[in-house]
Each structure stands twice: as structure tokens, then as C-alpha cells.
Amino acid sequence: MRRRPCHGRAARLARKSQCHEAPIGALPVVLALAFLPRDDRETGPRREFDLGGFLLLSPGLVLFLYGADHVSERTGVTVFALALLLLAMFWRKSLQER
């Protein structure tokens, strides 16, 4: 089965946008290398990975985004409330560890 060639305005825009993706994607990398300072030395004692914080923050952020997107539904409100609870627990945990 042969594909029909794309014609029209949408096809021209698609071809033009593909030419500009690489420079736009490379721009943040170049700017970061130019302006961010190098991190060659150790600035303090090494900290262990906070598994508890990770387990609270990661699902909390995902559920927050899902709940905010579906807030007009009952499930969305419930998920949003659960996300706020997880984020509050993360915040409390991070303050206790200081």
C-alpha cells in the first residue's frame, strides 16, 4: 500500500517545524554550559537518598496533576485531595529533617 504524499499548508508547516527542532533543543544546553558554574568540588557532606521523601513527593506530584486536570469529576476531586495530603506529609517530613 503506497502512502499518499502530504500536500497543503499543514504539510509545509510540518516540514518547516522539523528543520527548527534541533536548534531550539540545543539552545538550552548551550546556554547552560555558558552561564551555569561548574560543580567541581564537594560543597558539603554527602547525603543519603531520601526514600521516604521520594515515595511521598513523586506520587503526590503525579496525583496533583491528574486531580487538577480532572477536578470537575468526583474522582478528580478525591485524587486532588489525596495529592494535597501526600504533599503536606512530604513538607512536614522535610521540615523535621532540617
Give per-residue pLDDT as tens, 23-79: 677 888 899 999 988 877 766 777 788 999 999 999 999 999 999 999 999 999 999
Taking the whole predicted model, whether its pTM rises above 0.75 is answered as: no
Q: Domain of residue 71: give its range.
A: 9-37+50-96
55: in domain: yes
What is the C-alpha R_g of the chain? 23
Q: Is the pLDDT of residue 81 over 60?
A: yes
Task: Give the SS3 label for residue 40.
Answer: coil
Torsion of CA 84, 67, 49, 44, to 10 degrees: -70
Q: Is the pLDDT of residue 93 over 90?
A: yes
The total number of structural domains that make up the chain: 1
84: in domain: yes
22: in domain: yes
66: in domain: yes
Which residues, including other chains, have CB under 8 Å from residue 31's CB and lie 6 or more apart?
Answer: none
Alpha helices in 1-98 (DSSP H): 9-35, 51-69, 74-96
The pLDDT assigned to 6 comes to 56
1: in domain: no
